[in-house]
Every structure is written in structure tokens, then in C-alpha cells.
Amino acid sequence: MLAGLVLAPSAPAAFPGSAGNLAVSSPRSGFPTEGNLYTMGADGSAQTQITSFNGDELYPAWSPDGARIAFQQDPGLHPEIWSAKADGTDLRQLTSNSDDDRHPAWSPDGDKIVFASDRAAGSTLSDLYVMNTDGTGQVAITNTPSVDETHPSWSPDGTKIAFSRDGDIATVAADGTGLVPLTATEQVEFEPDWSPDGTRIVYRSGVNADDEIWRMNANGTGVTNISNTGAAVEERPVWSPAGDRIAFVKGAFSSAEVWTMNPDGSGQTRVTNNTFLDAQPSWQPVLTGYPRPKSTKKNNKFYLVPAYRQCTSPNRTHGPGLEHPSCSPPEQASPLLTLGTPDANGKPPEWISFVNIRSLAGNPSTPEDEADIKFITKLRDVYRRSTMTDYVRELRLEVEMRLTDRWNTPHPGGAGPGTGDLTLGFTVPCFRVDHINTGGRCVLATKLNALLPGAVREKSRAIWQLQGIKIYDGGADQDGDTTADNNLFAVPGLFVP
């Protein structure tokens, strides 16, 4: 089996996964001022209290690995940001000041938390801040003293943050630059949440206690009301990690309950049913990744040797050290092609041949998908066995592989991880060399996406487990594409002189 080739993502994909538990805030232990955090199954089962502060724990946000929850803890004066393990243990206070720190959200790589804070001098309005997950390195990424910025949500690819900006939805780059307004209406729009594939945003919008859930494309187009239930209040929409459901809150005050629905608003299903307010759901990702190396060589060069037939009827035994049954004389696998060798056909040895498979990384800062795989195949000194003249028609390169990546369907809400076997085939043209003692040359240089558009994608974290690289002759018709009559000619190997 040959070595593996990894096409690494240009940015980690963290938020997508399978749907785990829901976390909610609910004042069941002291309505209306004692909001604690609870976790439950996506169907409302196994409801478990995980915090018990004096005051309110609000706006839970799961880490991208589903192991921790960040939240806003409000003892009655100034809310701070805390985090805890999924069961409520290992409580950590991350901010501590006399201002309001609210609405935490994790970065998709799990290294940062963005939040809103009104700590800027002379302002009662919030800016966006980013910190490390232990609370260190708190830095403002916006500075708008006259604009209120709240409810940040980090995009799954890590490049943008959606947030509410004075009652409209906007995005900025993760460093706070590149402001892009997405909505501009008379209604108040806030609580945005990205779909796990990063293509859509849901949010809350409304006036006069008639809030609805809306959905739009990530560029602000395609605005659609998906709850549309009249006078009932709907709020705090969040996508499931699989992208197939949206959790939200329907009802006001003590009648507020958690519901879920399809992304188009159909199939609304009630999850909680009690006399207390249940609010601000957050959906736990259950990781669906797979082990992969940090990197491999981007340039994998496999030198080729002529292929020989398997020994099935031994008539000799190999000498000491590597004793094994053997066959004499050796038989090349291809009856049609050979290479120059003085003691075999009187031609000088000029064979230096290889297949080079090169991984080309993408660039997440551009809208284009530059990720690709480049194949360079060069065979030197190829002869027709019958005439010992240059071979000038076609060979066939086949790459047998076991592909593991994130682009497999059907999968709830889009593509997901999977493994499958396939063989890539390429025709390699050959031409005559103007040299009396050198056989024909066969050369192919191509990128996979040029032949199979979309075969290689950015952020798919693809592992190519190379099962075999094989060069076939063109068969009796010397046509590499008509595979029925092709014979194995060359394979990766070593030559020990």
C-alpha cells in the first residue's frame, strides 16, 4: 500500500457536526429572577440543571467541540462571561469588571470567544470584544461609541462575525474590519446565527411584540420570514449542527417554550412544556471529524520501475537472506512495451520515470476555490518490444485511492464526512525523441479540477489513502482510453544497482 496524501483545509471547520443536547436558560428555581442553565436532548428528554448561581445565567453557547458552555452570568449588577464543562463543573469566570459583558460566542477553532461589552469610556453602548478562552487577551475589535453592537455569532469558516448593529444585521471580518450591512429596515433585527455550512443566517426581527424568525443568504439576499405565526413572539433562532433543524423560542414570559422547525419553517415541534420561561437555546455539536495528520509533503514523487508478472509456478529459490520461491526467466507484465537495458535488448539504460502528485492549498481570504491536486507524469525511454522503436501513442495512468473527506451526501443539511474507494484514470500521450539510443517519452501535466471540476475543494480536509499508482500500456490499439486490452507496464518501486 502506498503512502497517504492529505489535502489540508485552509481553515478548520468546527461548528458542523451531529446534533447533541440543547442548552437553555430557565428560571425554574426562582421565577422570574433565577435563570439557571439546563441541558436536554433535542426532543426535550433528560432535562438537567447544570448551574445554580444567585442571579441569572443567560445566553449559553456551546464550544465547537461540544465540551464546554460559555454563558452570561448576571448577579443583578453587571453581567460577566463564564464558562463550564457540559455538566456544569469546572466553572471559570472569564471577565471581571464594573461593566456589562454579554452574549458570548466561540470561534470555530475553539481558541477565542467574542462578546459584547459597554466598557468603553463614556459610553453605555456595546462594542465587540474578543478574548482567549481562559479570559486573557481581551481586545476590542470594534470602536463605535455611538452605535450599539450586540449578539455576535462567528461564521463556521472563522472569517466573519455576524452581529446586531443598532437593530440591523451586519458582518465584519474576525479582526473587526470590513463592515458589511446586511439588513436596513424599520424593524429591530438581532440574534443572528450562521448555518453550519456558512451560506445562510437566521435572525429575530419584529416590532410591537410580534417578533418573527427570518432567514437570509449570508450576503443579505433572499430574506424570508420562516416562522410567520401572527401575534406570537418567536426569538433566539439557532441552527442544529447538522443544518437540518432550527431551534427557537415561541411565546413570551412564562409561556415561552423551546421549539424546533425545518429550515423553511415547516414541521414546527414543541420541545419543552412547563409553566416557566425556557429561553435562549443553544445546540451542542457532536464532532463528526476523523483523525488526520497535521500535514504531509505537498510534493509526493513516486519513481517508477517496470512491472513484472507474479510468480505462480516457481522453478527456482531465491538465495539466502531473502529466501522465497521464484520463477525464471522474469516476464514483464506488458507484452507490448519495454525500456532500454543492454543485457536485455542492447539499448543503453535511459529510463528515469516518475509520477508526481502535488497538493495545492486554497486561500480562505479569496472567494475563489484554489485548492487542487496537480499530476505530473514523465516516462523516459519507452520502446515497442516488437521493433525496439520509440513508442509514440498513449499510456494510461491509474491512481487507486481510498478517499476520506467532508463531501459526502446524503447527509442532514448537506455534505458530511465519509470514506470510499475510487480510481482516477488519465491518458498520457507519448512522442518520439530525436536520439538514436533513447526510446519515446510520455508526459502529462494537469490539475484534477481541470478534468473533474469540484473534485478538490477548500476546507474539505481530504485524505487520499493511495492504494496504487499504475501505468498501463495502450493495448493492441495503442489507445490508453480503451482499457479492456491494456496491460500493466510500470509501478512505483526502487532500483537497487
245-294 per-position pLDDT tens digit: 999 999 887 789 999 999 999 999 999 998 888 999 999 988 777 888 88
pLDDT at 33: 57
Above 50 in pLDDT, residue 13?
Answer: no
Confidence category of residue 123, pLDDT binned at 50, 70, 90: confident
Whole-number average pLDDT of the chain: 90
Is the bond into 181 cis (omega within 30 degrees of 0)? no
Residue 11 has pLDDT above 60, yes or no: no
Residue 410 confidence (pLDDT): 67
Helices assigned H by DSSP within 21-89? none
- For 451, phi then psi, to 5°, come to -90, -40
Contact yes or no for 81/101 (Cβ under 8 A): yes
CA 444 – CA 429 distance, rounded (Å): 7
pLDDT band of residue 120 (cuts 50, 70, 90) is: confident
d(C-alpha 9, C-alpha 21), whole Å: 28
Instruction: Indicate the pLDDT class of residue 414, thresholds 50, 70 and 90.
Output: low
Backbone angles phi, psi at 225, to 5 degrees: -80, 115
Whether 172 contacts 158, CB under 8 Å: no
Question: For residue 431, what is the DSSP state?
Answer: E
d(CA 171, CA 161): 5
Are 84 and 69 in contact by the 8 Å Cβ rule? The answer is yes
Q: Which CATH superfamily is domain 18-286 in?
A: TolB, C-terminal domain (2.120.10.30)
4 pLDDT band, cuts 50/70/90, is low
Q: Are 79 and 70 in contact (CB under 8 A)?
A: no
Instruction: Provide the 3-class DSSP secondary structure of residue 29.
Output: coil
H or E element in which residue 343 lies: helix 342-345
List pLDDT tens digits, range 92-118: 999 999 999 999 999 988 999 999 999
Grid coordinates standing for 212?
418573527
Q: Which three cell numbers stand for residue 76?
A: 443583578
What's the predicted TM-score (pTM) here?
0.67
Q: Is the dihedral of CA 488, 490, 493, 496 positive or negative?
A: positive
Strand ranges across the sheet with 212-217: 188-194, 200-206, 212-217, 224-225
Are 111 and 133 in contact by the 8 Å Cβ rule? The answer is yes
Task: Give Cα separations from 145 to 111, 151, 228 (angstroms).
Answer: 27, 17, 35
Contact 280, 236 (CB under 8 A): yes
Please determine, for residue 85, whether its predicted confidence score (pLDDT) is greater than 50: yes
What b/e sequence results for 223-250 when a residue is b if at least 16 CB atoms lie within 10 Å of its CB, and e otherwise?
A: beebbeeeeebbbbbbbbbbbbbbbbbb
Cβ–Cβ < 8 Å for 249, 280: yes
What residue segments make up the domains of the chain, in order of their start?
A: 4-10+292-492, 18-286
Q: pLDDT for 189-212, tens place per residue?
A: 999 999 988 999 999 998 666 799
- Confidence category of residue 9, pLDDT binned at 50, 70, 90: very low
Distance CA 385, CA 278 (A): 80
